[in-house]
Structures are given as structure tokens and as C-alpha cells.
Amino acid sequence: MEKPKYRMDLDFLKQFDHCTNRYEPFDVVATSKGRPMIVMCSKKPDPAAWCIIGNLFSVHFLSYRDMENYMAQRGMEPWTEAHERTSGIHMMYL
């Protein structure tokens, strides 16, 4: 079978490690719809120091300030007991 004539070169993605093995949990935040998101901090900030993990995606940031701006623009807030009561999802430590 012949390869397609036009093919996007995705080799640049190999340099990034998209797994979360290099991150440790830092906090839990709620989306504007009350869904939990995990905030993680890199054990070694290379290439990104901060990460927010959702259901189907993760977003990486080079600085805490960038992550704060991202959360503010999307109406995210710290996860509270009120979020646990309304969602039925228990994310806080006892």
C-alpha cells in the first residue's frame, strides 16, 4: 500500500512526555459546572512545572501564574465541602 502523498510530521511531539508520572498531586479545583479537576506539580519542572488534569485532557503550564490565569478565565475555584455535597464526589481528605 502506498503512503499518502501529504502527511503531517508529528515527530516534534516525541520530545514531550504526556504522562503524569513526573507530577504529584497539589490541589483539587472545581470547574464552573462543579466538576473536579486535579492540579499537579512537577517533581522536576522539565518542560512544564504545573498541570491541570480533567476527564479527557490535561493542560500544562510553565508558571503558577499562567495556571492561575487559566483557572480564573474559566471560572475555576478551590474544591470545597459544598462541591462534595452537591456532586456526591468526595475528593477532600477527612
What's the pTM? Answer: 0.71
35: in domain: yes
Give residue 61's domain range: 21-87
pLDDT digits (tens, 9 = 90+) for 17-43: 556 677 888 999 999 999 999 999 988
Specify if 8 maps to a domain.
no
Q: How many domains does the chain have?
A: 1
Residue 55 resides in a domain = yes
* 2 SS3 class: coil
Whole-number CA gyration radius for the chain: 17
Residue 27 within any structural domain of the chain: yes
Please say if the pLDDT value at position 78 is more than 60: yes
| Joined grid coordinates for residue 48 | 512544564
